[in-house]
């Protein structure tokens, strides 16, 4: 029962971070969280320690827990990790791709293009995530998936974004189209290079 409550507390507090109920500006105590979640302090404390180990929060003695501030320097370091992972994935899925995979990539590109044409930034960001996720799903490595998901959630928790204008999303789409075209042509090195250039664009375009 204790383990279950610890996990429930972890999921609930993490969702509060995602929903911006907890922010960088305000400290929250174990007691207040325990009351809000209607459970004892022990599972809440264990959940907070886990979230701190994952980089989502900082626990300050006599103050409480506060959402971590991801600096631009740290965010760029996260992007370096993402570049290493996604370039590796693109290189290693190239010989696994089927016509069905390519058809699905084309559908994802059409969804992104529709969002661009509508000026729907939020819609494009969702489609962008789905596009990148599809490569990870093809590679099918849970450890890599978990690493990328944790980075993405931490970025989301503090509002880190790299696509904020119409020009940005059209540029992103152009990179995606070139990656897919290179894979269709069997040009693995070009696909990897364009993936690198695409993520480097994101890294240099970091905003808060």
The CATH code that applies to domain 2-67 is 1.10.10.10
DSSP-derived 3-state class of residue 162: coil
Higher pLDDT, 54 or 95: 95
Supply the pLDDT for residue 177: 98
Read off the pLDDT band of 2 (50, 70, 90).
very low
pLDDT digits (tens, 9 = 90+) for 99-119: 999 999 999 999 999 999 999
70 closest CA partner among 142, 130, 160, 7: 160
Pairwise pLDDT comparison (144 vs 78), residue with the higher score = 144
Query: What is the rounded end-to-end Cα distance, in angstroms, of the chain?
Result: 40
CA distances 102 to 23, 27, 54, 139, 182, Å, are 41, 48, 35, 14, 11
Within this chain, domains 2-67 and 72-204 share the same CATH topology: no
Task: Return the closest-CA partner of residue 182 out of 196, 163, 168.
Answer: 196
The domain locations on the chain are 2-67, 72-204
**Residue 68 reports pLDDT greater than 90:** no
In 43-144, the DSSP E strands lie at: 57-60, 64-67
Residues 165 and 100: their CA atoms lie apart, in Å, by 32
Closest by CA position to 28, among listed 69, 60, 1: 60
Q: How far apart are CA 6 and CA 42, in angstroms?
A: 8
Residue 142 confidence (pLDDT) above 90: yes
CATH of the domain spanning 72-204: 1.20.120.530
Is the pLDDT at 26 greater than 60, yes or no? yes
Dump pLDDT digits (tens) for 192-203: 999 999 999 988
Residue the block writes with tokens 């370096």 = 80
Q: Which two tokens stand for residue 186?
A: 């069997």
Asked whether residue 178 carries a pLDDT value surpassing 90, the answer given is yes
Q: Is 176 exposed, middle or buried (0-12, 13-18, 19+ CB in 10 A)?
A: buried
Q: Are 56 and 157 in contact (CB under 8 A)?
A: yes
> What's the confidence (pLDDT) of residue 161?
63
d(CA 181, CA 141): 24
pLDDT at 70 over 70: no
- Residue 8 pLDDT > 70: yes
């Amino acid at each position: 029962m204790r383990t279950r409550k610890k996990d429930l507390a972890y999921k609930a507090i993490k969702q509060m971070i995602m929903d911006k109920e907890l922010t960088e500006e305000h400290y929250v105590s174990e007691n207040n969280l325990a009351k809000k979640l209607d459970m004892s302090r022990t599972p809440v404390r264990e959940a907070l320690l886990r979230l701190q180990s994952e980089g989502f929060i900082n626990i300050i003695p006599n103050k409480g827990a506060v959402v971590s501030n991801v600096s631009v320097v740290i965010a760029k370091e996260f992007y370096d990790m993402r570049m290493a992972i996604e370039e590796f994935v693109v290189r290693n899925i190239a010989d696994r791709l089927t016509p069905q995979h390519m058809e699905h990539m084309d559908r994802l590109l059409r969804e992104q293009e529709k969002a661009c044409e509508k000026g729907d930034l939020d819609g494009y960001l969702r489609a962008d995530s789905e596009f990148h996720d599809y490569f990870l799903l093809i590679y099918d490595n849970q450890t890599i998936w978990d690493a990328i998901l944790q980075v993405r959630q931490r970025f989301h928790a503090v509002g880190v974004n790299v696509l904020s204008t119409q020009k940005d999303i059209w540029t992103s789409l152009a990179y995606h189209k070139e990656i897919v075209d290179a894979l269709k042509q069997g040009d693995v090195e070009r696909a990897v290079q364009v993936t690198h250039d695409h993520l480097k664009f994101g890294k240099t375009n970091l905003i808060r």
